[in-house]
Structure 1
Amino acid sequence: MRIPFRKMHGLGNDFVVIDARETPVAMSPRRAAALADRRTGVGCDQLIVLEPSKVADVRMRIFNNDGSEVEACGNASRAVGLLLGGSQSIETLGGVIRAEATAQGIAVDMGAPRLRWDEIPVAYAMDTLDMPVGWEDLENPVGVNVGNPHVIFFVPDCDAVDLERLGPLIENDPLFPDRINVNVASLVGPDHLALRVWERGAGLTLACGTGACATAVAAIRRKLTGHTVRVDLPGGPLTIDWPQNGTITMTGPAALSFEGSFEDADFPI
């Protein structure tokens, strides 16, 4: 049996999307990692499986390229919004979100951020707005959970940070029971941030939608920006809105790259 897929991306953060709403497709960490392999599989940052949902229009399962299943992916949410069209509610492990096509791109309501130490989570109680921890020159981050966990470091020049070395060190620190996504951001103008992200289970990526959301929330909480923020990632810009006491809206592009299929037996469970 051949299983169809779509290859999609949001600002270069790329996905293999399998629509299993009508015909179930079994997925496991082993199979997800094999499909995500860029040499012997299809190749992607994340593999997405769409399934029926009892609480939303569709259920979205998200697997990083190491095979780990994770709670949320903002760029994938935009890709799924583009694929399904109209206004859609999407069930994720991080909660139910909503995606809608607009003139400015695909807008995704990511829900309200979680800000308490036990919601990030971290291993013990602390102030998440100014966390009293550090790794070499990266110190005093902000903790934000937007369906998945993030720490955000504000630095003079995010491009100067050796994130390929420090990212895995911070991601796997015992301080973070569920591991962590690592963001380094710089203020480049009024309501304008530059951002690089080390994604938990995926590594350096051209774009991270939840990272952009978490970083905008961190900047707003620290009064570095207003409530609408442009976030420039290596793959391009996103616009993040977080009104006071409201939910986060992320707006940006998504695209279909190509369609294909694979033989079920070639990627064992």
Structure 2
Amino acid sequence: MSARTLRFTKMHGAGNDFIVLNGINQDLSNITREQWQKLAHRQFGIGADQILLVEKATRSDADFRYRIFNADGGEVEQCGNGSRCFVRFVLDQGLSTKNPLRVEVAHTILTLRSHDDGQVEVDMGAPIFEHSQIPFNASGLASKQEFHEMLYALPIKTPAAHDSWIGVVSMGNPHAVQVVGDVDSAPVLEEGPSIEKDAAFPKKVNAGYMQILNRNEIKLRVFERGAGETLACGTGACAAVVSGIRRGSLDSPVTVHTRGGDLQIAWGGVINDAAQSVIMTGPAITVFEGETTI
């Protein structure tokens, strides 16, 4: 295979960092999983939690297509912080002047709006609770009802084995959310890998640890599948707020404090059996641009 030069932009959304690649004006075909891993490697590559691809839309109701590869090289369905960086990249690079933009991801269309203050608002669509669509298999797990939320006792396979009561929701990707008393001391790195790969989640899962500060404010850490703990997780923030509202512990809107910065999440709940869209607002920052050879 011959060497290929790629132009890239390094960006972050609340510390969740990305390599953004323009797949409209350069060839991104036939890049292997191993090459994605090398680009994302923090010592031997550019370094990133995820790699974002900007491509031409394949649907008539979208302006662009948006694809995401985790640091482990695997392609995933959704990335909330990345979607904000996506719209900032498209506008800054002159690929479009539309605002808002409609962007095609794996299973849906996202509506993205850039504000004059530099914040980006994303309509993340409605949360998904149907187990088969998450996907999640609750067979053999103890459960209990907490307000409108069903919680499940997930066995944690670490030396200090125990059960964690989780709420399960998909924001286009699967999340297992638990409430902790102190998120700073929570065993995210110790238990996150066990939750991520639990057999109850056939496509793995993002493990969220939420500390409720008051009814409109939480602190959050997320161990992301395929990336490990990140400084922020946009879909994880949405999932945590949805779970907290369904538990009866939170009211919309909610400020989510992550280790990389703050996100604002609003959700109108379920009306007439229809889950309303989750609206996320937060920063999207360009760090630098460059070229690399693969």
Same fold (TM over 0.5): yes
Residues 9, 289 of structure 2: 8 Å contact kept: yes
Change (3 A) 1:167 1:235: same
1:108-127 equivalent positions in 2, closer than 5 A = 108-124=122-138
How many residues of Structure 1 are paired with residues of Structure 2 in the alignment? Answer: 264
Task: State whether structure 2 residue 177 is matched by structure 1 residue 152.
Answer: yes
What is the CA deviation profile of residues 183-221 of structure 1, one whole-angstrom value per residue up to 9, with x for unaligned ones?
Answer: 000111231010000000000110000000000000111
1:6-155 equivalent positions in 2, closer than 5 A = 6-26=9-29, 27-55=31-59, 56-85=62-91, 86-103=99-116, 105-124=119-138, 129-135=150-156, 136=161, 139-155=164-180
Select the structure of larger CA radius of gyration. 2
What is the CA deviation profile of residues 74-105 of structure 1, one whole-angstrom value per residue up to 9, with x for unaligned ones?
Answer: 01000011112321111111421111112461
Instruction: State the match for 2:95 in structure 1.
Output: none
Change (3 A) 1:124 1:130: closer
Given candidates 245, 255, 258, the residue that maps to 1:233 is 258
The residue type paired with residue 83 of structure 2 is S
Task: State whether structure 2 residue 249 is matched by structure 1 residue 249.
Answer: no
* C-alpha deviation, 1:151, in angstroms: 0.3
* C-alpha deviation, 1:28, in angstroms: 2.7
* C-alpha deviation, 1:161, in angstroms: 1.3
1:188-267 equivalent positions in 2, closer than 5 A = 188-245=213-270, 246-263=276-293, 267=294
Structure 2, unpaired ranges of 5+: 92-98, 144-148, 271-275
* C-alpha deviation, 1:232, in angstroms: 0.6
Which 4+ runs in 1 deviate beyond 2 A?
A: 123-129, 132-138
Residues 129, 218 of structure 1: 8 Å contact kept: no
**What is the RMSD of the two structures over their aligned residues, measured on CA atoms?**
1.6
The residue type paired with residue 202 of structure 2 is P
For 2:35 and 2:12, the matched residues in 1 are separated by 20
The residue type paired with residue 113 of structure 2 is E
Residues 138, 153 of structure 1: 8 Å contact kept: no
For 1:89 and 1:137, the matched residues in 2 are separated by 43
For 2:102 and 2:32, the matched residues in 1 are separated by 25
* C-alpha deviation, 1:40, in angstroms: 1.2
TM-score (norm 1): 0.93
Structure 1, unpaired ranges of 5+: none
For 1:10 and 1:240, the matched residues in 2 are separated by 14
Identity of aligned residues (%): 37
For 2:163 and 2:192, the matched residues in 1 are separated by 11
Residues 138, 152 of structure 2: 8 Å contact kept: no
* C-alpha deviation, 1:108, in angstroms: 0.5
For 1:205 and 1:137, the matched residues in 2 are separated by 24
For 1:156 and 1:39, the matched residues in 2 are separated by 35
What is the CA deviation profile of residues 232-255 of structure 1, one whole-angstrom value per residue up to 9, with x for unaligned ones?
Answer: 100111000111331011000010
SS at 1:54 equivalent = coil
Change (3 A) 1:39 1:132: closer
95-104 vs 231-240, which moves further: 95-104
For 1:115 and 1:123, the matched residues in 2 are separated by 12
TM-score (norm 2): 0.86
Residues 24, 51 of structure 1: 8 Å contact kept: no
SS at 1:118 equivalent = helix
